[in-house]
């Protein structure tokens, strides 16, 4: 259906939005992670799995890189009303 290569489409995405498609997807996943972390009934590994991460440790690392907080710090901030 698409005559363009994946690389070409990714380049077009980056030109239009200023970030790579992978960065955009990761940012979207981290926003969803924040929402899910506010639901105290979900465990970290359950959230990781819901977002497509096979490894909870990697999910934790990516989350901290994008938010500046660990999963625990974010949960504590969320329950404190912040």
Say what the pTM is.
0.79
pLDDT digits (tens, 9 = 90+) for 17-54: 999 989 999 999 999 999 999 987 899 999 999 999 99
Nearest in space to 62 (alpha carbons), one of 36, 35, 29, 37: 29
Q: How confident is the model at residue 12 (pLDDT cuts 50, 70, 90)?
A: confident
The 3-state secondary structure of 8-60, one letter per residue: HHHHHHHHHHCCCHHHHHHHHHHHHHHHHHCCCCCCHHHHHHHCCCCCHHHHH
What pLDDT was estimated at residue 4? 62
pLDDT of residue 13: 84
Residue 11 confidence (pLDDT): 83
Of 2 and 44, which is predicted with more confidence?
44
């Amino acid at each position: 259906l698409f005559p363009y290569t994946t690389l070409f489409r990714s380049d077009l995405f980056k030109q239009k939005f200023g970030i790579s498609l992978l960065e955009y997807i990761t940012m979207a996943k981290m926003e969803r992670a924040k929402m899910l972390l506010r639901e105290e009934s979900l465990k970290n590994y359950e959230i990781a799995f819901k977002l497509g991460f096979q490894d909870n440790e990697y999910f934790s690392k990516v989350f901290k890189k994008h938010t500046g907080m660990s999963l625990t710090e974010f949960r504590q901030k969320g329950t404190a009303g912040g």
